Each structure stands twice: as structure tokens, then as C-alpha cells.
A and B are shown apart, each in its own frame.
Chain A
Amino acid sequence: EAQVTQNPRYLITVTGKKLTVTCSQNMNHEYMSWYRQDPGLGLRQIYYSMNVEVTDKGDVPEGYKVSRKEKRNFPLILESPSPNQTSLYFCASSLSGGSGNTIYFGEGSWLTVV
């Protein structure tokens, strides 16, 4: 079954404690992206990747890091989480960016930083 898998789905952590949210897709997609969703603010892009070893900043990259060492995985790293990073996070992938290719979203990761 084609899917985008995120882990953890729910996490409560403390300020400053490094954490990683993993994202994996099994569709051999080139394009992957991270979004955060806050009430009333829609989907804001954090980082995206067009292919292995190619990453780019989205609209709200501050406080986040990503890596794309292999095609299937695109982890989101919060080196020193702060309460303003409390949000719902979605990972997404597509065969390639745009060009009429559907974006598939993971189920989301609810992150609370206290």
C-alpha cells in the first residue's frame, strides 16, 4: 500500500530537548516536504526536497533542520525545541515536484513543547 509514514504521531517534550520526527515513503517519490499547521494559518512549508541531497527552505525554516540522505526518508530535526514550535506537522511526498503529480500527506504529528 502506497503511504507516507510519520513518527511519532503524538509527542510532548520539553524546551531545548532535541527531537527528530521521521518521515518515510514507499512510493519512490523524488519530492518530499514538511509543513506545519497552526489554527487559522493553513499549511506553512518548512523545508522541501526535490531529490536526494537536495533540500531548500520553505516559508518558515527557522528552528528546523532536515536531511535527505536517501530517497525514502526525510527527517525533520528540532535541535532546540521551543514552545512556539508546538504545532501539527505534516510530511508529504510526490513523484516529482508539481508537474501534475499528486501530493500524498502523512497522517500528521502532533507536537507539544512545554
Chain B
Amino acid sequence: GENVEQHPSTLSVQEGDSAVIKCTYSDSASNYFPWYKQELGKRPQLIIDIRSNVGEKKDQRIAVTLNKTAKHFSLHITETQPEDSAVYFCAASSYNYGQNFVFGPGTRLSVLP
């Protein structure tokens, strides 16, 4: 089945700096890639997503890029703020597996004041 890897597992940045989290996937048929943010003790919530027919998508301070050839996609957060501190999960969905979602293991981002 689909396998999603995510790096780094933990990331600390200074407030105002940028943060980048990268995910790789194994199934070339994967066609949808969402990113979720989970604050401590809360449920994961969608922050941005991208489909396989698009290379980049941006929403204010966050952006996602997709490289289908290399089978990886990345989350970029600019001008980080303390409220960006959370665990971030990437996911991939492939029609080869009934469009089931497979999540990466998560990245704990800490934004230091």
C-alpha cells in the first residue's frame, strides 16, 4: 500500500523565521495531498491541501509545493508565530487503494520567542 514518510520529526525555529516540512510518498497514483495541524489535546484540522495537477498552492503564510516526479511534497510556513507551534501531519490519497488516506508520522514544530 501507500507509504508516507515525513521529515523532520521535530523542528524548532525562532519566531519570524521560516519552517519547512517535507513528505515523500510511494504510490505514483496518489493524487491528493492534505496537511493537518494538531494543537495539543485537540483534533487534527486541515490547513492546506494540493491536488496532483497543481505544483504549488499558497494561503497567506503557508504554502505547499508538490514534485510528482520525485514523489514529494512540502509545507512551507513563513514568518512563524508562537501559535504555529503544533504537530503537523501530511497525508496522501491514491485511487489505487480506493482513495484511502495515509498519514505521515507527524512533525512537532516549536516556534521559540
Q: Which of B32, B89, B98 contacts A42 (CB 8 A)?
A: B89
For A33, give the chain B residue with the smallest CB separation. B101
List the one stretch of B12-20, B41-49, B72-80 in contact with chain A.
Answer: B41-49
Interface string of B97-110 (1 = CB under 8 A from A): 01111111110000
Interface residue count on the A side (C-beta < 8 Å):
25
| Residues of B in contact with A, size category | 20 to 34
The A/B interface has a contact count, at CB < 8 Å, of 67
Pair A99/B44 contact, Cβ less than 8 Å: no
Interface string of A29-55 (1 = CB under 8 A from B): 001010100000111010010100000
Residues of A within 8 A of B105 (CB): 41-42
For the complex, would chain A's binding face be called helix, strand, loop or mixed by DSSP majority? loop
Interface residues of B (CB under 8 A from A): 31-32, 34, 36, 42-46, 49, 51, 89, 91, 93-95, 98-106
Interface residues of A (CB under 8 A from B): 31, 33, 35, 41-43, 45, 48, 50, 56, 58, 90, 94, 96-103, 105-108
Give 23 pairs: A residue, B residue, CB < 8 Å, sorted on A. A41-B105, A42-B89, A42-B105, A43-B44, A43-B106, A45-B100, A45-B103, A56-B100, A96-B99, A97-B93, A97-B101, A98-B31, A98-B32, A98-B100, A98-B101, A99-B31, A99-B32, A99-B93, A99-B95, A102-B34, A103-B36, A106-B43, A107-B42
